[in-house]
Structure 1
Amino acid sequence: MNKFSHIDLRVHDLQRVMPFYEKLLPELGFTQTFHSANWRVFAAEGKLPDVPYFAITEDKEHQPNSNLIGFWAKDQAEVDQIAKLVQECGGTINDGPRLFPISPTYYAVYFEDPCGNKYEMVHRLN
């Protein structure tokens, strides 16, 4: 059983990041939306609360840090696809996509949302 439940993410400008997440999160499998006045929630297929979800709220005082959220890719092509999407929707590529010396098959892209929150999309065989 995968114990992952959810991510509660803070951003300092919700209006600025929503176009980014509206394109990125469905590509990562968060295809359902459950938005409210204070939260924008993107959930995987199924019924809440039994599915993983990604919730975003605005905190004007939020400062991004070195925390990083990682996502698995099914292959290197998906890593490349997400890298292209990130660039198209206002994110910043920090490194990659490329092989990293973590393992012989560790292919990843490191990126940030428009508010500076950090992510990684990775495919590896071992």
Structure 2
Amino acid sequence: MNKFSHIDLRVHNLEIALPFYEGLLPSLGFTRTFHSANWRVFAAEGELPSAPYFAIIEDTNHKPNGNLIGFWAENREEVDRIAELVKELGGKINSGPQLFPISPTYYAVYFEDPCGNAYEIVHRFN
């Protein structure tokens, strides 16, 4: 059983970050929205509250740190596609997409959202 529940993400400027996430999260399977006055919630398929979800809130004092959120890709083409999408949406590619020496089959891209939060999309193949 996958124990993942949700991510509560802080951004220092929701107006800057929201268009990025509205473009990125559906491509990662977070296709439903449940927004409130303060939270922007993007959920995967399934019944809430057990469906995985990604919630974003503005915190003007938030500063990015060394945390990194990683997502699986089905294949290298998906890693490449997400990398292009990140660039189109105003994100910053930090490294890749490429093979990394983590293992002989570790193909990934590392990137940041417009507020500096760090991510990785990875595919490991046989």
Shared fold (TM-score, shorter chain, > 0.5): yes
Partners of 1:6 and 1:36 lie apart in 2 by: 16
Matched position secondary structure for 1:62: coil
Instruction: Report the equivalent of 1:75.
Output: 75
Q: Following TM superposition, by how much is the alpha carbon of 1:50 offset from its aligned partner in structure 2, in angstroms?
A: 1.3
What are the residue-to-residue correspondences of 1:47-126 with 2, within 5 Å?
47-125=47-125
TM-score for both structures, normalised by structure 1: 0.98
Q: Does residue 27 of structure 1 match 2:27?
A: yes
4+ long deviations beyond 4 Å: none
Q: Following TM superposition, by how much is the alpha carbon of 1:46 offset from its aligned partner in structure 2, in angstroms?
A: 1.6
Q: Per-residue displacement from partner, 1:88-120 (whole Å, max 9, x unpaired)?
A: 000000000000001111000000000000000
Q: % of aligned pairs identical?
A: 76
TM-score for both structures, normalised by structure 2: 0.98
Instruction: Report the equivalent of 2:4.
Output: 4
Instruction: Report the equivalent of 1:14.
Output: 14
Q: Following TM superposition, by how much is the alpha carbon of 1:47 offset from its aligned partner in structure 2, in angstroms?
A: 1.6
- In structure 2, the gaps of 5 or more residues are none
Q: Following TM superposition, by how much is the alpha carbon of 1:30 offset from its aligned partner in structure 2, in angstroms?
A: 0.2
Opposite residue 53 of structure 1, the aligned amino acid is Y
Q: Following TM superposition, by how much is the alpha carbon of 1:15 offset from its aligned partner in structure 2, in angstroms?
A: 0.6
Aligned residues: 126
Q: Per-residue displacement from partner, 1:12-38 (whole Å, max 9, x unpaired)?
A: 000100110000000000000000000
Matched position secondary structure for 1:61: coil
Q: Following TM superposition, by how much is the alpha carbon of 1:125 offset from its aligned partner in structure 2, in angstroms?
A: 2.5
Q: CA contact under 8 A between 2:112 and 2:119: conserved in structure 1?
A: yes
